[in-house]
Amino acid sequence: MDSYRLEVRNINKSFPGVRALDNVSLKVRQGSVLVLCGENGAGKSTLMKIIDGVYQPDDGEIFVDGEKVNIRNPIQARMLGISMIFQELNYIPEMTVEESLFCGRWPTKNGHIDWKSVRSHTLELLEQESLPYSPTMQMKDLSVSDIQMLEILKAISIDAGIIIMDEPTSAISEREVTRLFGKIEGLKSRGKSIIYISHKMEEIFRIADDISVLRDGKVIDTRPRADFTIEEVISLMVGRKLESNFPKRHLTIGEEALVVKGLSSEKAFKNINFSVRTGEIVGFAGLMGSGRTEIMRAIFGLDSYLSGEMTISGKRVSIHDPKDAIKSGIAMLSEDRRRFGIIPIRNIRENVGLANLRLFFHGGHLHSAVENSTIGKICSRMEVKAPSLSTTVEELSGGNQQKVVLGKWVLCDAKVLILDEPTRGIDVGAKYEIYKLMGDLAAEGKALVMVSSELPELIGMCDRIYVICKGEIAGELQREAFSQEKIMRLATGYEKRMGVPQ
């Protein structure tokens, strides 16, 4: 007979205008991985936040090791042996690595925080996982990948019996994914139970013991992994068959919209030369830490650079900050949307309108009717799923948050759109919608630059791909030369080492 570490029975949860969970029941066996699948908005994260004590259910029951529990807050969840890695990275930028790892569970001595113990335990954890960070580094100085690895480390280090992982691999390298999966196997062998949320089908079938599919707040099916196929899981998630992962595009490529020449920074990249034309989607591939994001941040004015020049539609521009970039016709969707893309506690209207207030102010007054009408049309076009424009962005699923950010930049009518990991943490259905929006924007004559760690989407969406290796362009590929093997050879520097001609 199976021993269940966690059971949830008949959980219901509603928010204003939305029924998030409808009579949801799940069981997680001891020493196993239950993978939870579903589109953004299916209710996965809401259910996990109920188990973690962030939300309270309207009704239903939760059992841990056979005992009924009432989880009122995350602190109580930790006491019950429940730990959670959130999809949206939760960290305080000004905190150090050691402070972030032990926040909320400080070791004490004589009534004071035992900082000596904090330091020694931090060094031990970092060494154990071969993470090259100093305990005194501030979180704001780390990349999204670094922060993700520290969040994983923090959750595992608590030694919880139930570990919830909400999209833990969305911003880490394949090497780090392999290390994480090895860690999960070790946790299973010690009897730990893991609930794992992912949209990556290859991960799901690599790590799952059991799979549960949620759709529209309901559990559609739960089976052992061996009883599912990838096609079945996708079909159950979206409630329909997707004819293709990538929408067809009719190309009309025009003049050069953005030309970058000789762009170099102090450490991250050097001598970057590339261009993107109107109606074109140009991809940037490379390993984590290759310099892809740093290049885009410099173009958008978030980071400074030492030398180089940029032209927009044939006119040389000088960009010192994002304000200059926006005025020049460049917009950027950041890989860290929570930190750089949205203001979570503000509503949809405010987030979309933030970079476009000049459109709504006349004679020193805000014209609310114009604002509501304009932003309403944009959100309809983006297919943002929300009760109203007054819904706070933190209430939206990851996919809908991404659509809000994209809507903000579409409203700006930028000539060049830089999309850094535009489908990070987004399900297959929402990904298709984002891809379609990208295709529509290109068809309108926008020039799109797409940075992605997912090679299939770069190959499926892009007209050309630049591959970055150690801060330099290792090669440029035309569509007919696209292949995952070719991209990885360039990204790892293999072809350069072997002297293979580009």
Distance CA 218, CA 381 (A): 27
Percent over 90 (pLDDT), the chain: 48
Buried b (16+ CB within 10 A) or exposed e, 205-222: bebbbbbbbbbebebeeb
Mean confidence (pLDDT) of the chain? 87
Sole residue written with tokens 């997707």 = 242
Domain covering 256-498 assigned CATH 3.40.190.290 in the classification = no
At 494 the pLDDT is: 62
Give mean pLDDT, residues 160-188.
Answer: 82
Most confident option among 35-39, 128-132, 321-325: 321-325
At 88 the pLDDT is: 65
At 365 the pLDDT is: 82
Give mean pLDDT, residues 439-449.
Answer: 93
Judged against a pLDDT cut of 80, whether residue 499 lies above it is answered with no
Q: Which fold would CATH assign to domain 4-238?
A: Rossmann fold (3.40.50)
At 87 the pLDDT is: 67
At 488 the pLDDT is: 83
Distance CA 409, CA 416 (A): 10
At 495 the pLDDT is: 58
- Residue among 94, 1, 5, 86 at smallest CA distance from 44: 86
For residue 237, give the 3-state DSSP assignment. Answer: helix
**Burial of residue 407, with CB atoms counted within 10 A of its CB: 0-12 exposed, 13-18 middle, 19 or more buried:** buried
- What's the pLDDT band for 224 if we cut at 50, 70, 90? very high
- What's the pLDDT band for 271 if we cut at 50, 70, 90? very high
Helices marked H in 129-217 — which ranges?
144-157, 174-189, 201-207
At 142 the pLDDT is: 82
**Which run of H or E residues covers position 456?**
helix 455-461
- pLDDT tens digits, 388-421: 999 999 888 778 888 898 889 888 888 999 999 9
At 498 the pLDDT is: 47
Give mean pLDDT, residues 74-78.
Answer: 90
- What's the pLDDT band for 171 if we cut at 50, 70, 90? low
Residue 241 CB: number of other CB atoms within 10 A? 8
Judged against a pLDDT cut of 90, whether residue 86 lies above it is answered with no
Percent over 70 (pLDDT), the chain: 94
Which residue would you say has higher pLDDT here, 88 or 300? 300
Distance CA 417, CA 385 (A): 23
Distance CA 32, CA 34 (A): 7
* Range with lowest mean pLDDT among 16-25, 170-179, 215-224, 371-380: 170-179
Distance CA 98, CA 118 (A): 7
The token pair that represents 163 in the structure block: 């570990």
Q: Where are the domains of the chain?
A: 4-238, 256-498
- pLDDT tens digits, 460-469: 999 999 999 9
Which residue would you say has higher pLDDT here, 362 or 256? 256
Region of 61 on the Ramachandran plot (φ > 0 left; ψ -120 to 50 alpha; else beta)? beta
Judged against a pLDDT cut of 70, whether residue 321 lies above it is answered with yes
Give mean pLDDT, residues 368-392.
Answer: 89
Residue 303 CB: number of other CB atoms within 10 A? 15
For residue 239, give the 3-state DSSP assignment. Answer: coil
Distance CA 106, CA 399 (A): 35
DSSP 70: -
Give mean pLDDT, residues 276-302.
Answer: 92
The token pair that represents 396 in the structure block: 């939206």
pTM exceeds cut of 0.85:
no
Distance CA 401, CA 398 (A): 5
Which residue would you say has higher pLDDT here, 39 or 79? 79
At 12 the pLDDT is: 95
Amino acid at 329: G
* Range with lowest mean pLDDT among 227-231, 238-242, 435-439: 238-242
Q: Do domains 4-238 and 256-498 have the same CATH topology?
A: yes
First-to-last alpha carbon distance for the chain, in angstroms, is: 59
At 33 the pLDDT is: 96
Q: How many residues would you count in the chain? A: 502
Judged against a pLDDT cut of 50, whether residue 471 lies above it is answered with yes
